[in-house]
Each structure stands twice: as C-alpha cells, then as structure tokens.
Amino acid sequence: MTSSGVEASTSDSDGDADLAQLVEEVNRRLERGENVEEFLQRFPHDGPRMREMLPAMELLAALARDESQLERAAPSEFGETRSKATAACELQKLGDFRILREIGRGGMGVVYLAEQLSLNRPVALKILPLAAAIDSRQLQRFRNEVQAAALLQHQNIVPIYFVGSENGVHFYAMQYIDGCTLDDLVRQLGEEDCETIPLFSMARSPDGDSSDGRDVRDGSGSLGLSRSSSSVSRRYRYRRIAELFVQAADALDHAHRRGVLHRDVKPGNLMVDATGNLWIADFGLAKLESEVGVTVTGDVVGTLRYMSPEQSLAKRVVVDHRSDIYSLGATLYELLTLHPVFDGKDRQELFRQIAFEEPRSLRKTCPELPRELEIITLKTLEKNPEDRYETAKELAEDLRRYLAHLPISARRPTPIQRAVKWSRRHVGVAWTLAFAAATLSVALAIGATVVNESRRSVQAEKERAEQERILADYQRQEAVRQRNRARRNEYVSEMVAGQTQIENGNQAGLYVRLIDFLPLEGEDDVRVWEWYYLMSRCRPERFAIYGSNSPGAAWSPDGTLIGAPGAIWDVASRRCLHRFDTSFIG
C-alpha cells in the first residue's frame, strides 16, 4: 500500500469511528426497546444518515432481543420463551432468507441459521454489524472474505451461495454445516472420555483401519471407539485427528495455490460435520496475495494465540502462506494435547512466548503420542518460516505417510540446529556467550597445558615406581628360585645319605631330616619316590624296643622320643623314661 493510501484511510477512519460509536449507541437503545428519534435529534449532521439505516438497525436489534430472551429464560419457562422468540425471529426476513436463530458471533459479524425461501434449504447467514459497515476498512475486509471464499471451490472449504445488501445490511449466505468446531471438540475432550464423543465414532479413516491395523467399524458401518484399552483409544484418536488435518492441509493448499491467505486459522474456524468431514470457514481476515491497501504494515490481524511469529510481531516482512501452516500446526498441537502451544495470561506475555520460546514437548504431555506425529507438529511450529513445510501440500503428504506407517520426510532438529535457532532469536545473548566461551577456551587451554604437564610428571613418577616394583618382584622371584635350587641339591645329598643312616640304625636322625623337606606354603615340593621310601623305613613301629616291634608307636617331632603303648622311650639310650597304667583300656 502506498503512503498516500495509508494517510487517506487514516483520515477517513476518524469520521467513521465517530459514526460507528453513534451506531453502537443507537443499537443499544433499540435493543432495550427505546424510541431513538429524540436521541437522533441531538446529531443534526449524522441524523439523516442514521435514519436511512434505521430499518436495518431495528431488524438487527430485534434479533438481538430475541436471542437475549432465550438466554434469560428460566428452565421452566424455556420452552414457551423459545417458541415465542423463534416465532419472532422467523418473522425477520432479509431478502430471500428467513432468519431462525443465532449460531455464532465474532469480530467480523454475526452468523445466523436461516432458511433460503426460494430453494427451501438451511443456510448460514453472516451479517456484517452496522457499526462495522461504517468503517471502510471493516467493510472492505467483509468484501474480501466474500471474494476469497468465492475464488475457492474445495470439498473442505465452506462454499458461499449468495451475497447481498438490503436496507444497508451487508450479508452473505453459505452452506450450513451441522457439526461442531474444533474449539468445541477440544472442550469436549477435556471434559469427558473420547470414547463417549460421537464425533470420533463418525469420523471415517481414509483406509478404514484403526491405529493397530484392525477394523473398528461397528454394526452400522461407522468407525467406533469401543475399546477396552484406553491407550488403544488414545492412539486411535491421534490417527483420527491426523486424518482431519490431512483434509485441512489439503484445503489450505487449494487456497494458497489460488493466492488466498486465510490469516486466522484456529480451532474456532475449523468445523467437523456429522460425517467426519472437516470444513475451513471464516475467511474474514483472508488476504489475496495480489491485494494492497486493507492491512497497513504494522497491523496485527488474526487471533494472537495461533499467530505465527512474523504475523504476531507485524514485522516489515512478507507474511506468506507459511504463516497459515504455523497456525494450522498450533491448532493441531492443541487438539493433540488439549493445551494451547503458549498459555500467556496477557498479550505481552503471549507476544514474548510466540517470538522467543520453544513449544513444550508434546510427548511430555502425551507420552503415548506417536513420535512421527510430534515431529510433524513441531516442524509446522518452527519460528523461521524457512524451517517449516514449504507448502500445506507437503504437510498433508507427511500426515498421509504417518497414517500409512511410512517414513515421514520431517526430521527432528539436531542439537547443533537447535543451538543455531536459539542464537538467531537471542543475538545479544549469543554474542555474550560467544565471548565468554572464547575467554573460557583460552583459560581452559592454559589450564589444560598446566594440567597436562602435571599429569606427565605424575605419569613419569608412576612409571619409575612401576619399574622399581617390577625389579623388586624379579629379585624376589630369583631369590626363591635360588633357594629352591639349593633345596633340591640338599635333598639329593640327604636321600643318598639316608640309606646309610638306616643301615646304621639312626632312623630317628633320618626322620628329623626327612621332616625338614615337608614343603612350607609357597615353596616347591622337592620330594619324589625315595623320600616316601625312606619315610616308610622310619616308622616307629619298625623300631625294636626290648627286642620286639611295638605296634602303635609314634615319633616325637624332633625324633628323640618314641611314644609306645604304656611307655615313653628315649631313642638314643633305648631307656624307658615313663610308664603308664593301661589296665583300664578294655
């Protein structure tokens, strides 16, 4: 938009704003049932124009009064009040349409359920409030909505049947969708078990399969949620949600390819009918890519909680179709987790969260959520448009891959990628951290040099100690080997002399020498067959005492004494040293 165009729209809007305030005041008085003629006489400049719009204002005020009666009716009076109010409403006609009741209200207009008399069919009739019709920019946006919707013919976009203006009331008729918004669905899922929500039993999977590959159609042919396992039900619910968003992404791709940006994708503008078909509605903030003039740079349009960072901050950059992809991702996030992506309590906090904070992990809130669905959702919510899906068609294709159990194209960001994204959003902090990191690196390098030198010194000391230990072990082992060689040599000499000692009757002395060759712990056993032979010749029962053998005799450890039954003998003198009474042994 040119600067002159901005100035013109700004100057025109001053007078429009005053007139809009006057219209709102007249509306309030009409809704209270007051006579406004006396009030209008106070405004000689705007009075004539107001009187021209008075019939339309009286019509809208009557509709508002009828709805108010329904809201204030006590339960016992509701039936009677409703019949009266409905009868009053049905008397209100707008061209070919008879208004039945209000079904929705927003910043860009009020939506009524109406009957198109000529075709005898229900329609949704959207009426632009008169106060908004006074504002040239609001009126242009209303026209843009009609123009944008008229350009689109898709099975998931609510079609427009008729556009008109009567008695100053601007309106258009569109297909009536008998269903609920995703906003209603989120609320229902938060209040009750998903198995009890009829919408899910009606939602039809493209492949007719449940999350585990088994058909879950009930007897009527509808897809049901009659599951005994709550975890299976949740996985089934996630698949049904993915199927709905395939339809939404296809519809957005259709709009984008025709140069239409929705700019207000949110749960309240996505509807699901009784057959499970999703519809995108309310193109009230739609923008044609070829359009200039309606939105001044710096305007924030849309619903803040679902806006992309570039849309919410009203940056002086092009806000393109990828902003709609972000908003659809925010809606998908909320339907999966039942929580908004960001839950700031005021506008400033929401602005900050959208611009600088990362969404909370979906799987921390919903541990059973499939990892692929989390990755797809987080890719749509990237801060940088370049990191999102390039088109809504790519998003739809990835969702279809997930539903078909095929690998998806989206990938979870690596730690390096996450660090780069963070630094883009926090440039000042990133430079500070970079400087601190450089300083720390230098300090660490110096410290590492000192530590490495110290480690080398300690390592050298350890190596010297290890070498000394190895040498000491070798010396100990060598000493043991020397002792064992000397012991073997001694053994050979003793065994040779042993036979001579037996022949000389010196069994006691031989016995003591043989005992010396019993191995101690850790010593080699040098004994072989001759030691056992000589030891057998030294058994004390073979030692003659008074000319006879003494069975049961035993040597003393030093070989100087023999203990025999009833006596102790000295070997050298062959003298009995002591006798015992053995008569009690029986």
| Catalytic residue annotation | 264
Helices (H), 404-519: 415-425, 427-503, 507-516
Q: Are 32 and 62 in contact (CB under 8 A)?
A: no
Q: How many CB atoms lie within 10 A of CB 339?
A: 15
Q: Are 209 and 203 in contact (CB under 8 A)?
A: no
Q: Are 126 and 174 in contact (CB under 8 A)?
A: yes
Q: Are 239 and 210 in contact (CB under 8 A)?
A: yes
DSSP 330-349: HHHHHHHHSS-S---SSHHH
Distances (CA, A) of 303 to 56, 199, 296, 383: 29, 26, 17, 17
Return the bridge partners of 279, or none. Answer: 271
Please tell me the total number of residues recorded for the chain in this structure. Answer: 586
Please name the residues in contact with 297: beta carbons below 8 A apart, sequence gap of 6 or more: 1, 314, 316
Residue 13 to residue 134: CA distance in whole angstroms: 9
Q: 86-121 as b/e, with b when 16 or more CB fall inside 10 Å? A: eeebeebebbbbbbbbbeeeeebbbbbbbbbeeeee
Residue 171 φ/ψ, nearest 5 degrees: -155, 165
Kindly report each contact of residues 552-558 with a partner whose C-beta sits within 8 Å and lies 24 or more positions away, as own/partner: 555/508, 555/511, 557/515, 558/512
Q: How many CB atoms lie within 10 A of CB 172?
A: 23
Please name the residues in contact with 91: beta carbons below 8 A apart, sequence gap of 6 or more: none
Distance between start and end Cα atoms, the chain? 135
Residue 153 to residue 375: CA distance in whole angstroms: 31
Q: What's the sign of the alpha-carbon dihedral 365, 371, 373, 378?
A: positive
Q: 535-546 as b/e, with b when 16 or more CB fall inside 10 Å? A: beebebeebebe
